[in-house]
Structure 1
Amino acid sequence: MNTTNQDHAELPEQERVRREKRQILLSNGIDPYGMAFPDRESIRDLKRKLLPWTKEGQDKDHLPESPIKSRIAGRVVLLRRFGKAFFATLQDNGDRFQIYVKKDRLPEGVFDIFNDTLDMGDHLGIEGTFFKTKTGEPTLEASSLWFLGKSVHPLPEKWHGLSDIETRYRQRYIDLIVNLPARQVFEDRSRILSLIRRFMDDRGFLEVETPMMHPSPGGALARPFVTHHNSLGTDLYLRIAPELYLKRLVVGGFTKVYEINRNFRNEGFSPRHNPEFTMMEFYMAYHSPEELMALTEALIPELCQKIRQKTTVQFGEHEIELMGPYRRISYLGSLKDHFALSEQDLFDETKLIECLKGAKIPIPPKRAGKPYFADLQNALFEETIEKGLIQPTFVTGYPKAISPLARSSKDNPEITDRFELFIGGIEIANGFMELNDPDDQLARFEAQMESRQAGDLEAPPPDLDYIRALEIGLPPTAGEGIGIDRLVMLLTEQTSIRDVLLFPQMKPEG
């Protein structure tokens, strides 16, 4: 936003003074926003180069025989003035280095201009020579200076963490400057994604990209975001899952595929939910859920070891061991044990409602096209069993009624070959043997349509092209989705999803 001089009087004093300093620079022929700064050495590389003379415990007089010159740039994050000299600390990509600027070492007039106009937050370029201060601090003494970007809005003098949490999320650019631990989380996130890709590629998977806008929402039970394509004259849906397109690729002959990308679900916010989130989904033709679980047990501790140099994490108040093998429990068996239910009780709606009331859990409404006992079971599971699964646990044997895309078990057609992985009380992964019978899949789609017509906005309409793909023939296939944001939360020891999203969705200000 451009602000005229006439407007400056209405600005906060610090900002008004900074804009006046910007004008001083312009009056002296100095562009306050600088130019490209070629041949710059990163501070990280400079510190690595200086390591032989800056190791901890070395004498402050231990210096190279020949002067070491460098050309660095960064944001001023510390500034101390001493009359005819000043010290400043520059921050470049999270690394910091001290510089020393002395009046008699610069061309006539240069020091005065920079000393009068430089503020915390400004971008500065420097060319200088390495030395160590009396206290042994590695420093560059400037022989040349360049203004590379004037900050007219001051950085916060103090950063109080949780008391400023809304500002941290809304103004992540400030958070990344002043909160280096937050920056480390996002560097770790980038590394985690690279490591996942390497892990999958090494095992013969092909990374693919599928559409983000779907003519019909599918692949999960969730309310979609709706948009409109003007040229086509039709509504489209931001995808809630890539599942149906990835399985089309398996039909087409790609036997091991994966995708890491965004999904969108029109739902609320919580420490574990953001409407826009990252998932990895992968599919393996001719494989089983057991092989999916084995792959997951190998992936997660490997990531943890490479990110944290150990296989344990501190997640909230819990220390969690991520090295497998992971515990396994059954969905219905866990409910039976927790509530002391019989096999018959599990499907008795009256008995299940009694359990919900006893645990003070809201009773879900009935929905057409779906057995009511399944919703009651799921409410019990989510509010009791799930929250207690702290150490890595695979939950197996999910009912068919809540698994519309999963293949039924050979032993019990009402139970599917599906599992979910929970760590720290959070669902991290969901996998199953894919339903590949087109007639069975169509019947389940039609049941979902009945729910949709009764007002269930999470139930998707039938995807008839996907049915056609199944009619062409999907081989026995196992598929899994891993919530990347939640996995990053775990591996970086963050208990809120917003702390691992650079720009989490926020309510409008005001």
Structure 2
Amino acid sequence: MSNEQRELRIKKLETIRSHEIQVYPERYSTNYELNEVSVLEDGTSDIRVAGRIMSIRHFKKLSFITVSNIQASLQLLLKEDEVGEKLFNQFHNLFDIGDFIGVEGHLYTTKTKEKTLRVMNYVFLGKALRTLPEKWHGLSNVELRYRQRYLDLIMTQETQSRLLARTKMTRDIRRFFEDHNFLEVETPILQHSSSGALAKPFKTFHNSLDTELNLRIAPETYLKRLIVGGFTKVFEFAKCFRNEGLSPQHLQEFTMVEGYAAYWNYEDTMKLMREMILFILEQTFNSTTLTIQGQIIDFSLEWDIVSFKDIILRDTGIDIDLYPNVIDLYEETQRNNIDLEHEHIESLGRGNFIDLLYKKMCRPKLIKPTFLIQHPIDLSPLARANQHNPTLTDRFQLVVNGVEIINAYSELVDPLEQKRRLEVQAILKSNGDLEAMEMDEDYLTAMEYGMPPISGWGFGIERLLMVLTDSETIKDCVMFPLTKKQ
């Protein structure tokens, strides 16, 4: 935008002040939101609405103006013989696209069937000193769209509807859990140890306590402490932070919904999660059928349930049960010409290695909603071992269109077994596996006071929205994604 245009607008601003009109008034009393006007009957009068001017079509004695906000647009008709010459000319001399206006009038429908407000009076509500970009649509500089998300929201219909869906979805998830008698809680972001997931934390320093702290990677161990404390059904919308690589499916800062139910197992949670997804689809998207990557998926149909072992066998021909040692398994993948493209592959424990194999070779092929079950125990340091086969865990992941959207377990509640497993993780960490979990003595102490049977789940709001809105990248599902500092 040229400085010339900005200077021109500042001059208009000074002219407005010289007419003793407030440039930035403190309020305007509306009686309808823009999105409510379209359902009103023609002839409804005394309608007062406000919005940002997005277009002006000027004719000799009348003008059509479009005002909008995140939820709707509305066409206004400004006629010289209805508002008077003074107000009519004032509009054309002082208002620009991007400015805010408050209008009062009555409703009619034009010949082209567009609901339109005939303006009887208007008030200036705010001057935009910068012009809105003309060539924003399909803007190839994606970085700019993220950096100036407010402009993307003004200019791009798709961004508006996706981020509105995020807000609605959050509301609907809350309502779903509250209707199922779960209590919403909050747990700390600053933590001494980074437990609850396999991930690399962000570190920070607490000056008063003179100690290094981590930003949480998951709320898990604190939510479980609440179960020890007597809560039976809890959930949290938790901001989590993982200091890991960028990818179209990963964010370093994201919103996790995590919850726990005492006396449940993972199969109870499976039922709950299916019910939740169907509730979100009906409430937020008004349909249980979505088109994802050109494929129509009806979520109300039966979902597949497949084991880790079976899916790897199906897609690679390798039976992971035959390779209890990670080195043998690695050699078998090489014999099968499978390149896993990981720079520290030799440092991975067996669990993380199998996970990598699955993510590379199997997950992209899972399009319809699929519950993946029977994960190897070394991949799930906090999950309960299966009663019949202790090398597997009672756990599931929900995968849709090659993306994991929910992770859930029957939780490990045996403190001695938990300590043993965290010791194994600590050895992996000291051998260079950066994603291994660290020892958390405080959590182990809480466990020793006794835990009931528990099932828990976690999912990222952005990841879920990305899948349900068929977005190319997870950054599109965040209000303000992190960008490099200019």
**Which band: TM-score by shorter chain?**
over 0.9
Residues 81-138 of structure 1, C-alpha deviation per residue, up to 9 Å, x if partnerless? 2244322111144322222223444466433332112111110112223345455543
Q: What is the aligned counterpart of 2:341 among 362, 370, 373?
A: 362
- C-alpha separation in 2, matches of 1:151 and 1:403: 54
The answer on whether the counterparts of 2:350 and 2:378 sit within 8 Å (CA) in structure 1 is no
How far apart are 1:365 and its partner, in Å?
Answer: 3.2
Instruction: Report the AA paired with residue 33 of structure 1.
Output: Y
Q: Deviations over 1:273-298 (max 9, x none)?
A: 11111111111111111111111122
Partner of 1:311: 288
Q: 2:417 aligns with which of 429, 433, 440?
A: 440
Pair 1:81–1:416, CA change in 2 (3 A): same
Equivalent residue number for residue 461 of structure 2? 484
1:15 pairs, out of 1, 6, 18, with 6
**After the TM superposition, which of the residue ranges 420-429 and 308-317 deviates more from structure 2?**
308-317
1-structure distance, mates of 2:241, 2:375 = 24
Per the alignment, residue 216 of structure 2 pairs with 239
Contact 1:315/1:495 (<8 A) preserved = no
Q: Any conservation in 1 of the 2:176–2:276 contact (CA below 8 Å)?
A: yes
- Residues 76, 119 of structure 2: 8 Å contact kept: yes
| Pair 1:77–1:39, CA change in 2 (3 A) | closer
1:34 partner amino acid: P
Give 2:107's match in structure 1, choosing from 127, 130, 138: 130
Q: CA deviation at 1:42?
A: 1.9
Match of 1:253 among 226, 230, 242: 230
Unaligned segments of structure 1, at least 5 residues: 1-9, 54-63
Matched residue SS, 2:39: helix
1:381-414 CA-partner distances (Å, limit 9, x unpaired) = 1101111111111111111111111121222222
Residue 167 in 1 paired to residue 158 in 2?
no
Q: Which moved more, 1:206-215 or 1:338-347?
A: 338-347
C-alpha distance 468-48 of structure 1, shift in aligned 2 (>3 A): same
Partner secondary structure for residue 436 of structure 1: coil
Where in structure 2 are the equivalents of 1:387-398 lying within 5 Å?
387-398=364-375
Aligned counterparts, 1:467-506, within 5 A: 467-506=444-483
2:243 alignment partner in structure 1: 266
**Given that residues 216 and 460 in structure 1 are in contact (C-alpha distance below 8 angstroms), is that contact kept between their aligned partners in structure 2?**
no
* Residue pair 1:434, 1:476 contacting (<8 A) in 2 also: yes
- Supply the RMSD in Å over aligned alpha carbons: 2.3
Which one of 83, 88, 91 corresponds to residue 111 of structure 1? Answer: 88
CA contact (8 A) 1:214 1:239 kept: yes
Amino acid at match of 1:44: N
| Offset, 1:504 | 1.2
How far has the Cα of 1:151 moved from its partner?
0.8
Does 2:331 align with 1:340? no
SS at match of 2:382: coil
- 2:17 is matched with 26
1:72 to 44, 49, 69: 49
Pairwise CA distance, 1:351: 5.0
Number of aligned pairs?
484
AA aligned opposite 1:352:
Y
Residue aligning to 1:7:
none
Once the two structures are superposed, residues 23-66 of structure 1 have per-residue CA deviations (whole angstroms, 9 ceiling, x without a partner) of 2212222222223102443222333222xx3xxxxxxxxxx4xx
**Distance change >3 Å, CA 38–CA 451, structure 1 → 2:** same
Which residue is 1:291 aligned to? Answer: 268
Q: Flag structure 2 segments of 5+ consecutive residues without an equivalent.
A: none
Q: CA deviation at 1:203?
A: 1.7
Greater shift, 96-105 or 209-218, is seen at: 96-105
> 3-state DSSP class of the match of 2:130?
coil
SS in 2 for 1:494: coil
Q: Specify which of 400, 404, 411 is matched with residue 423 of structure 1.
A: 400
- Does the residue aligned with 1:325 lie in a helix, a strand or coil? coil
Q: Identify the match of residue 465 of structure 1 among 442, 460, 471.
A: 442
SS in structure 2 of the partner of residue 504 of structure 1 = coil
The farther-off stretch of 324-333 and 428-437 is 324-333
> Secondary structure of the equivalent of 1:473?
coil
Give distance in 1, aligned partners of 2:342 and 2:110.
69
Aligned-partner residue type, residue 466 of structure 1: Y
**In structure 1, distance between residues paired with 2:283 and 2:3:** 47
Gap change, CA 1:352 and 1:449, over 3 Å in 2: closer
CA drift of 1:464 comes to: 1.0
Specify the code of the residue in structure 2 equivalent to 1:185. Answer: R
Distance 1:431 1:137, change over 3 A: closer
CA shift digits 1:194-246 (9 cap, x unpaired)? 22122212222111111111121110011111122222222221110000001
* Greater CA drift, 378-387 or 33-42: 33-42
Distance of 1:343 and 1:100 partners within structure 2? 70
Cα distance, 1:156 vs structure 2: 1.5
- Greater CA deviation, 315-324 or 215-224? 315-324
**How far is the alpha carbon of 1:176 from its aligned partner?**
1.4
State the one-letter code of the partner of 1:13: E
Q: Is the 8 A contact 1:98 1:138 kept in 2?
A: yes
Residue 331 (structure 2) aligns with: 353
Residues 77-86 or 270-279, more deviating: 77-86
Gap change, CA 1:135 and 1:448, over 3 Å in 2: closer
Which residue is 1:61 aligned to?
none
Q: Could you say if the C-alpha distance between residues 103 and 340 of structure 1 is closer, same or farther in structure 2, counting changes exceeding 3 Å?
A: closer
For residues 138 and 236 of structure 2, what CA distance do their matches in structure 1 show?
Answer: 35
Q: Aligned letter for 1:298?
A: E
Alignment partner of 1:36 is 2:15 = no
Alpha-carbon spacing, 1:315–1:131, altered in 2? closer, same or farther (3 Å): closer
Contact 2:70 2:154 in 1 (8 A): no
1 CA distance for matches of 2:414 and 2:110? Answer: 75
Does the C-alpha gap of structure 1 residues 24 and 457 become closer, same or farther in structure 2, counting only changes over 3 Å? same
Q: Which amino acid aligns with 2:153?
A: L
Matches within 5 A, 1:52-63: 53=42
The answer as to whether partners of 2:411 and 2:453 remain within 8 angstroms in 1 is yes
Q: TM-score, normalised by structure 2?
A: 0.93
CA distance in 1 between counterparts of 2:81 and 2:288 reads 55
Question: Which amino acid is the alignment partner of residue 498 of structure 1?
Answer: K
Q: Name the structure 2 match of 1:279.
A: 256
CA contact (8 A) 1:448 1:459 kept: yes
Q: Is the Cα–Cα contact under 8 Å of residues 433 and 479 in structure 1 kept in the other structure?
A: yes
2: CA distance, partners of 1:145 / 1:214: 54
Q: In structure 2, what is the Cα distance between the partners aligned to 1:382 and 1:491?
A: 20
